[in-house]
Amino acid sequence: MASSRRALALLALPLLAASPAQQTPAPSPTPYEAVDPFIGTGGEGHTFPGAVAPFGMVQLSPDTDAECQIRECYAHAAGYRYDDPTIAGFSHTHFSGAGHSDLGDFLVMPVSGEAVPLEPGDARVPGSGYRSRFSHDGEVARPGYYAVTLRDAGVRAEMTAGTRVGVHRYTFARGKAAHLVLDLRRSLYNYPGKTLWSSLRLRPDGTVTGSRRTRGWAPDRQLFFAMRFSAPLKDHAFVSTEKDVAYKGFQGPGRGSDAVAERQGRALVGRFDFGRLEGPLEVRVAISSVDEAGAMTNLDAEPGGFDAVAARTRVAWEQALGRLDVAAPAPMRRTVYTALYHSLLAPSVAGDADGRFRGPDNAVHRAAGFTFRSTFSLWDTFRAEHPLLTLVQPAATTSDIVRSLLASRRASPDGILPVWQFQGRETWTMIGYHAVPVIADAYLKGIGGFDADEALAAMVASATYAPYGGLGDYMKRGYVPIDREPEAASKTVEYAYDDWMIARMAEKLGRRDVAATFDKRAAYWRNSFDPKTGFVRARKSDGAFRTPFDPTAINYGSDYTEGNAWQYSWFVPQDQAALFRAMGGDGKAIAKLDAMFDYDNSQLDYSHAEDIAGLIGQYIHGNEPSHHVAYLYNHAGAPWRTQARLKQIVDTQYKPAPDGLSGNDDLGQMSAWLVFTALGFYPVTPGSLEYVIGRPFVERATLALPGGKRFTVVADGLSDANPYVGRVTLNGEPLARSYLRHDEITAGGELRFTMRSRPNRAWGKAAAARPYSISRR
Amino acid sequence: MASSRRALALLALPLLAASPAQQTPAPSPTPYEAVDPFIGTGGEGHTFPGAVAPFGMVQLSPDTDAECQIRECYAHAAGYRYDDPTIAGFSHTHFSGAGHSDLGDFLVMPVSGEAVPLEPGDARVPGSGYRSRFSHDGEVARPGYYAVTLRDAGVRAEMTAGTRVGVHRYTFARGKAAHLVLDLRRSLYNYPGKTLWSSLRLRPDGTVTGSRRTRGWAPDRQLFFAMRFSAPLKDHAFVSTEKDVAYKGFQGPGRGSDAVAERQGRALVGRFDFGRLEGPLEVRVAISSVDEAGAMTNLDAEPGGFDAVAARTRVAWEQALGRLDVAAPAPMRRTVYTALYHSLLAPSVAGDADGRFRGPDNAVHRAAGFTFRSTFSLWDTFRAEHPLLTLVQPAATTSDIVRSLLASRRASPDGILPVWQFQGRETWTMIGYHAVPVIADAYLKGIGGFDADEALAAMVASATYAPYGGLGDYMKRGYVPIDREPEAASKTVEYAYDDWMIARMAEKLGRRDVAATFDKRAAYWRNSFDPKTGFVRARKSDGAFRTPFDPTAINYGSDYTEGNAWQYSWFVPQDQAALFRAMGGDGKAIAKLDAMFDYDNSQLDYSHAEDIAGLIGQYIHGNEPSHHVAYLYNHAGAPWRTQARLKQIVDTQYKPAPDGLSGNDDLGQMSAWLVFTALGFYPVTPGSLEYVIGRPFVERATLALPGGKRFTVVADGLSDANPYVGRVTLNGEPLARSYLRHDEITAGGELRFTMRSRPNRAWGKAAAARPYSISRR
């Protein structure tokens, strides 16, 4: 990290760096400079350090992973791990922080010299393949830019990316022949049989196009590319390494040669030879989910060489990051800006420049008047990521997201909204119909550009589709029965929240019938709450809770989704007050929250569960079910306990280092939590138009809003010694309630915290001062 | 056969059949009635008996084949064999007479009763699967209509087809539940791994759509379908029978059930349940190479139920067959009309109703102003099939064919014209660039609608593409060297003919430079002719002919393509006179022709070569290299010998029975030979605008021509006892030459033969009376 930052400083500030005698403190880095894409590339973050534009379709990043079988691939879900010694190549698609994976499409690796290995080789045996050792010396990662020196390849590699284009720049060892290997056999989360089909084609104008169809996380995904080189191609080979082909058909032109115009197969690798080059080789690559023509259209839509693309993307990042102006000590500022950066990667653009996109039906559609986006990790992102985008991005971003969700539903074979979708393809990962809160929250916040009646119809269709996730039983019984559907406890409470959002959307649209139906369903969480134990539990068809019951047990396909009763017993964001009453009142709720955080977990081993990381007792910050929990003290009238817990979380779960994320970033959700929390408030209940006030972690933050408005948070007296909020004012007036309204932010103004060393137990205690709950309003 | 004809008669002429006392002879069947689609379904013909419209995209036909490995599949190349006892189902795509195969897409089988097997079972064990026994009793095949009773299934099955639509009509056993099985695992020329991917989807409106991507003869072929039922669907199952899937991803809606909205995989079978039906079940199916939307568009473009589609297709066949009015004894008439029927199946429509089609680059294109066709078996069909279409079809048919060839070339990754293409996908089967004579012959005959300059450029590109079939060496050395490229002797002589056609096209376009280049190449056949042995032979790079040399040897990948020196030594259609001189003069040529036909082949075994059938000495009528040979006596001034050989061939190689074709029909070429030959002339040299006169086999034939013109052939005195032509008149004037000019046909008129028992050795003997040769003109 240190070395990478040195390299960055050398590039960005050559004069200052060259003048150590100058004693004035260096000016604070710009938001762009404050971002460290290495954060999360070690540990559990699963982020990637490579080049990407805001919400870019292309994520051009190094892959260090060794060949892995599925479960072993978890650590390499984003392709790169900071501690790995070798790089296998640079591929064009990566998830930021996913807990499951795929992608790593179209891996390119430069090779200098005469011998051009077509296999990656063994990471432990240098020179055994095209894989190359690298070190962090001279490795640079900035938003939209990545550079590394490949020791064995003898190449300096630089990457940048536009929206639908990635550009490689390779400087080969002087006097040595320049080659590229393009390996279509490699993929993230690879395994035998994953590649259903692939193709390579050299067109007469020198453009290389190709495709891959894979059976991975998306059960059938097609991706196409178009690639152009800055230097003329001297020779090439398209090689198939597939064995045991039962029937090979007839051979086309170039019989017996690999220098054919095209090749198809299940295991293809391409070699491109450029001879000795005077300068660097630039490789422009665009991708498309539609077809090769789409990839070529995308390539043409973003013209220019490496520097031109890099400059445009830098401007785009500066604008996007610059909407939030943060003053804080350098480490926290770096953490916050990197979190903001990570929250601006998904839902990424997935449609072509001409509007065409591939939908959940695997057919090609056209987006009229909007940009189709995908990579919807909705179970994660409905919580804070989408509410954050609504605040820090132009309205068009969220409008595009909603229109993309609705377009996907129109193309859904099941007629329902996306669950976990990428590149337009559904993976059926995680639970719930959490496109619902994303759409409803956006609509209630005034985001337009879509047909609200269609949106409501899509929500209702998704919430009433009996074959999905036990919904048939849920509708009939008021809960999902665990003997008929796994993870029934989690499903019941999450469905109930989504149902509440449908009711709010229907209410807003004057559809009282729909609102009444779903308001009733919004209370179904009660059917899964066991007053005896005080936990949300899974019920069987006969009505009894399933036994034996161990609130600490975490297993896939059990009563809960990536969690246990401790985490899931807090998920009633639509009515936390009612939940607390069911638990026996605020005092008992607070005691239970404390018991959760203070649980002695030293005897527990959750290493079998991939996504369980970042433990504080039974609070698991590395996974989403816990994300709103620290704020719930506010609902019980004890914001000072929230403030204490937030400090505990921020201090232990985030740091500006490769292992700086305690869990998968989950397409921005972990980061969005931090951005909100740093600013002092958090959307516990998307759709309520409220943000629960925690405590700020930055001295000052200003959010640029539409119409030139600004909303500023100030934390007077902020320090480690002053972890508690003494007083809050909004636009100079004392704020007695422990929540903020959305319109108070969008109107512009100043939220000022006075921090102090001891709790203010009175503030936010009154019932009227507490955040949203159905039963309180 | 007998029974099927009885069933046909009963349907078509019920009153006559019911009134045996009536003594007047039955009126001659109409052309439509004279067709017997069973001809060629036994023996070597490889035709199919099922329902197809003229040039229809859908060939809906029964498949009787047992599971086979590739080489064993040869006999079942068209899915059905007349002698097989069981039918596995009805699939929508078949080649007519191909020597290699693929297709058999989307196999549907009806099942009555409670148990619905999803495996075909063993043909030898009735009831072991959905496969059913059948007999020829009540089996009916007419153009566009097929019916059979499935004994084990308890179902009467009827098929009809429009251009892009197939309609099934199933009458289930009374009182029994009706089901359909749709088996995406089955294919013609099936083998493990052929299905790369497939999908099934039930749409909310009851339409079933799906797709299959296969690696077969076309190395990557995608086909889509849309299917609608006349009765409501009661239940369904989409089952995957694939084993050993390394990674299955997450399960979507309908967890654990087969009644899902969609399923994807490599081994899918669908079951559709309709309960007890009052009447027959109709199933409308359309296919598309583009996508499911294309299939649905195609389905909508041809509305109506079974009877409506059948009636439209019957009219289309009556019109197409009715352009030729033939008087002949019933067996010959049946043979000729069935041949005409078989010549009107390919090149079949391959583009969608909206103009979209999939090209050789596997991308989707749009045909503007024409109908995209494919199934180009060009090595076979450039000889007589395409010249026949130019005479018996509207000009639009050949114009579409040429435009499709040019559109394919535009989308070709290699930039060349199709070689052996189907559904837009190239198979690289056989040799030559025989799209060239198809296009040039059409252009020289006045067929328009395409850019002639583009056509010439496409021809030149195809003829100069070095990586294809040894063309690099051919251009450099004047022949294809056998030590560098297999089948070099055949390639050299076929390239030379195609080159001659390019020269003629260039000449017509005033491109003397191009004409000169290719006129020079047209003489390259000489470089492969060995004057010592009198045979065309394969030369090595060093210039020597390869030894040992056995003119009777036939092996794949040898010096010749599906043949030997005997057949290939006659392939200089552009200059037979020069060839004969090289052979030592007309007398030696005639003697060599006789030696070929009279060769004692009793000691030869060619059973290892699939396509070698229909032997008369070393003349092999079952394969194309021999097709023009019997006519070559005319070039040597001995038409009477041609007449004798033609009788020998027609008598032994064609008959109106399932085994009535002595070789693969090859997408109409075998049949087109017969149609021409029956009319008394044959296009030995497409592009010469000449037809070599043989002798007629019908008493009278009238060809309806554009503008209401008619060209009539009359054979006075035709009988087995009068096999020789005594005299020929054209429009009443004696015709001294032994060939006919194209414009003489298209002008309308009468060609009258006077047949007699003994040869007229004088007619056609004069040099000026002989057919086209470069060196004679």
pLDDT tens digits for range B220-253 = 999 999 999 999 999 999 999 999 898 888 989 9
Buried b / exposed e over A745-757, threshold 16 CB at 10 Å, is bbebbebbbbbbe
Q: Look up residue A473 and give its amino acid.
A: D
Identify the burial level of A600 via C-beta atoms within 10 angstroms of its C-beta, where 0-12 means exposed, 13-18 middle and 19 or more buried: exposed
In this predicted complex, what is the ipTM? Answer: 0.93
**Non-local CB neighbours of A45 within 8 Å, separated by 6+ positions:** A39, A97, A658, A659, A660, A661, A663, A664, A665, A670
Q: Name residues 52-71 of chain B within 8 A of A (Cβ).
A: 70
**Non-local CB neighbours of B150 within 8 Å, separated by 6+ positions:** B87, B110, B132, B133, B134, B156, B157
Spell out the CATH class of A35-245+252-317.
mainly beta
Question: Do the chains contact at A468 and B253, CB–CB below 8 Å?
Answer: yes
Identify the burial level of A354 via C-beta atoms within 10 angstroms of its C-beta, where 0-12 means exposed, 13-18 middle and 19 or more buried: middle
Q: Give residue B3's pLDDT band: very low, low, confident or very high (50, 70, 90).
A: very low
Q: Give residue A25's pLDDT band: very low, low, confident or very high (50, 70, 90).
A: low
A1 pLDDT exceeds 70? no
Q: Give residue A71's pLDDT band: very low, low, confident or very high (50, 70, 90).
A: low
* Residue B760 to residue B768: CA distance in whole angstroms: 17
Structurally, at CATH architecture level, domain B38-243+255-317 sits in: Distorted Sandwich (2.70)
Q: Give residue A24's pLDDT band: very low, low, confident or very high (50, 70, 90).
A: low
Return the pLDDT at A18.
37
List, as one string, the DSSP characters of B343-375: TTS-SEE-S-TTSEEE-TTS-EEE-SSS--EE-
Return the pLDDT at B4.
36
* Residue B95 to residue B353: CA distance in whole angstroms: 21
Q: Give residue A556's pLDDT band: very low, low, confident or very high (50, 70, 90).
A: confident
Question: Do the chains contact at A196 and B193, CB–CB below 8 Å?
Answer: no
Q: Name residues 314-343 of chain B within 8 A of A (Cβ).
A: none
The domain ranges of chain B are: 38-243+255-317
A103 pLDDT exceeds 90? yes
Closest residue in chain B to residue A244, using alpha carbons only: B193
Question: Do the chains contact at B197 and A215, CB–CB below 8 Å?
Answer: yes
B96 and A CB contact within 8 Å: no
Q: What is the pTM of this model?
A: 0.94
CB B725 within 8 Å of CB B754: yes
* Residue A354 to residue A365: CA distance in whole angstroms: 11
Best of A362, A430, A464 to disrupt the B interface (most B CBs within 10 Å) is A362
Question: Do the chains contact at B247 and A465, CB–CB below 8 Å?
Answer: no
A260 and B CB contact within 8 Å: yes
Show the tokens assigned to A85: 């010694």
Look at A24-38, A325-339, B747-761 and tell me which has the smallest mean pLDDT: A24-38
* Residue A219 to residue A362: CA distance in whole angstroms: 11
Question: Do the chains contact at B262 and A201, CB–CB below 8 Å?
Answer: no
B66 pLDDT exceeds 80? no
Q: Give residue B763's pLDDT band: very low, low, confident or very high (50, 70, 90).
A: very high
Average pLDDT over residues B719-734: 98
A538 pLDDT exceeds 70? yes
Question: Do the chains contact at A253 and B215, CB–CB below 8 Å?
Answer: no
Question: Do the chains contact at B245 and A193, CB–CB below 8 Å?
Answer: yes
A433 and B CB contact within 8 Å: no
A293 and B CB contact within 8 Å: yes
* Residue A559 to residue A486: CA distance in whole angstroms: 6
Q: Look up residue B262 and give its amino acid.
A: E
Closest residue in chain A to residue B192, using alpha carbons only: A246
Query: Within 13 Å, how many C-alpha atoms sit on residue A150's CB side?
Result: 30
* Residue A182 to residue A107: CA distance in whole angstroms: 6
For A220, which of B192, B197, B420 is closest by C-beta distance?
A: B197
pLDDT digit string, tens, across residues B549-591: 999 999 888 999 999 999 999 999 999 999 999 999 999 999 9
B467 and A CB contact within 8 Å: yes
Closest residue in chain B to residue A254, using alpha carbons only: B467
Question: Do the chains contact at A291 and B364, CB–CB below 8 Å?
Answer: yes
CB A680 within 8 Å of CB A696: yes
Return the pLDDT at B25.
60
CB A564 within 8 Å of CB A557: no
Closest residue in chain A to residue B251, using alpha carbons only: A428
* Residue A282 to residue A169: CA distance in whole angstroms: 4
CB pairs under 8 A between A and B: 143
Residue with the two structure tokens 């048919």: B397
The conformation of residue B65, written as its DSSP 8-state character, comes to P
B-chain residues near A245 (CB < 8 A): 193
Show the tokens assigned to B685: 């040299």
* 3 state DSSP class of A412: coil
Question: Do the chains contact at B213 and A203, CB–CB below 8 Å?
Answer: no
Question: Do the chains contact at A217 and B428, CB–CB below 8 Å?
Answer: no
Closest residue in chain A to residue B198, using alpha carbons only: A220
B776 and A CB contact within 8 Å: no
Return the pLDDT at A244.
86
pLDDT digit string, tens, across residues A586-600: 999 999 999 999 999
B-chain residues near A426 (CB < 8 A): 252
Question: Do the chains contact at A249 and B414, CB–CB below 8 Å?
Answer: no
- In this structure, the strands spanning A420-422 and A425-426 are antiparallel
- Describe the crossing of helices A488-508 and A435-444 by its angle, rounded to 10 degrees: 30
Q: Give residue B69's pLDDT band: very low, low, confident or very high (50, 70, 90).
A: low
pLDDT digit string, tens, across residues A615-632: 999 999 999 999 999 999
Q: Which residue from B300, B370, B381, B333 is spatially nearest to B99, judged by alpha carbons?
A: B381
B204 and A CB contact within 8 Å: yes
Q: Name residues 272-291 of chain A within 8 A of B (Cβ).
A: 291
* 3 state DSSP class of A585: coil
Preceding omega of B347 cis (within 30 degrees of 0): yes
B469 and A CB contact within 8 Å: yes
Q: Give residue A70's pLDDT band: very low, low, confident or very high (50, 70, 90).
A: low
Return the pLDDT at A191.
87
**Residue-averaged pLDDT of chain A:** 94
Percent composition of chain A: helix, strand, coil (DSSP 3-state, to 5) = 30, 25, 45
Closest residue in chain A to residue B486, using alpha carbons only: A255
Return the pLDDT at A14.
34
* Residue B560 to residue B625: CA distance in whole angstroms: 10
* Residue B703 to residue B710: CA distance in whole angstroms: 6
Closest residue in chain B to residue A101, using alpha carbons only: B249
Average pLDDT over residues B92-113: 96
* 3 state DSSP class of A751: strand
A21 pLDDT exceeds 60? no
Q: Name residues 583-642 of chain B within 8 A of A (Cβ).
A: none
* Residue B360 to residue A145: CA distance in whole angstroms: 38
Q: Give residue B10's pLDDT band: very low, low, confident or very high (50, 70, 90).
A: very low
Best of B200, B240, B250 to disrupt the A interface (most A CBs within 10 Å) is B250
3-state secondary structure B716-769: ECCECCECEEEEEEECCEECCCCEEEHHHHHCCEEEEEEEECCCCCCCCCCHHH
For A293, which of B211, B363, B415 is closest by C-beta distance?
A: B363
pLDDT digit string, tens, across residues B251-286: 899 988 999 999 999 999 999 999 999 999 999 999
**Non-local CB neighbours of A473 within 8 Å, separated by 6+ positions:** A479, A480, A481, A484, A485, A541
In terms of DSSP H, where are the helices of B606-711?
Answer: 639-653, 669-679
Strand partners, A404: none
A-chain residues near B361 (CB < 8 A): 201, 262, 292
Return the pLDDT at B609.
86
Return the pLDDT at A684.
98
The conformation of residue B536, written as its DSSP 8-state character, comes to E
Closest residue in chain A to residue B196, using alpha carbons only: A196
- In this structure, the strands spanning A733-734 and B59-63 are unpaired
Question: Do the chains contact at A249 and B428, CB–CB below 8 Å?
Answer: yes
* Distance to chain A for B578, nearest Cα, Å: 32
Closest residue in chain A to residue B220, using alpha carbons only: A264
Q: Which residue from B220, B486, B376, B372 is spatially nearest to A262, judged by alpha carbons?
A: B220
**CATH of range A616-777; options 3.30.2080.10, 3.40.190.10, 3.20.20.140, 3.40.50.620:** 3.30.2080.10
Question: Do the chains contact at B247 and A216, CB–CB below 8 Å?
Answer: yes
* Residue B207 to residue B81: CA distance in whole angstroms: 32
Return the pLDDT at B70.
58
* Residue B227 to residue B208: CA distance in whole angstroms: 5
pLDDT digit string, tens, across residues A408-464: 999 999 999 999 999 999 999 999 999 999 999 999 999 999 999 999 999 999 999
For B197, which of A213, A264, A469 is closest by C-beta distance?
A: A213
B19 pLDDT exceeds 80? no
Return the pLDDT at B192.
87
Closest residue in chain B to residue A208, using alpha carbons only: B413
* Residue B664 to residue B298: CA distance in whole angstroms: 31
Question: Do the chains contact at A262 and B428, CB–CB below 8 Å?
Answer: no
Show the tokens assigned to A585: 């009142």
A246 and B CB contact within 8 Å: yes
Show the tokens assigned to A3: 């070395």
pLDDT digit string, tens, across residues B160-211: 999 999 999 999 999 999 999 999 999 999 988 999 999 999 999 999 999 9
A-chain residues near B251 (CB < 8 A): 428
A-chain residues near B246 (CB < 8 A): 70, 191-194
Q: Give residue A66's pLDDT band: very low, low, confident or very high (50, 70, 90).
A: low
Residue with the two structure tokens 């034939």: B701
B-chain residues near A364 (CB < 8 A): 291
Other CB atoms closer than 10 Å to residue A774's CB: what's the count? Answer: 18
Return the pLDDT at A67.
63
* C-alpha dist (Å) from residue B130 to B51, B88, B127, B159, B185: 22, 7, 7, 18, 14
Q: Look up residue A400 and give its amino acid.
A: D
Best of A188, A255, A258, A288 to disrupt the B interface (most B CBs within 10 Å) is A255
* Distance to chain B for A519, nearest Cα, Å: 24
- Give the percent of chain B with pLDDT over 70: 96
* Residue B767 to residue A639: CA distance in whole angstroms: 113
Return the pLDDT at A13.
33
- Extended beta strands in A394-553, E state: 420-422, 425-426, 529-530, 535-536
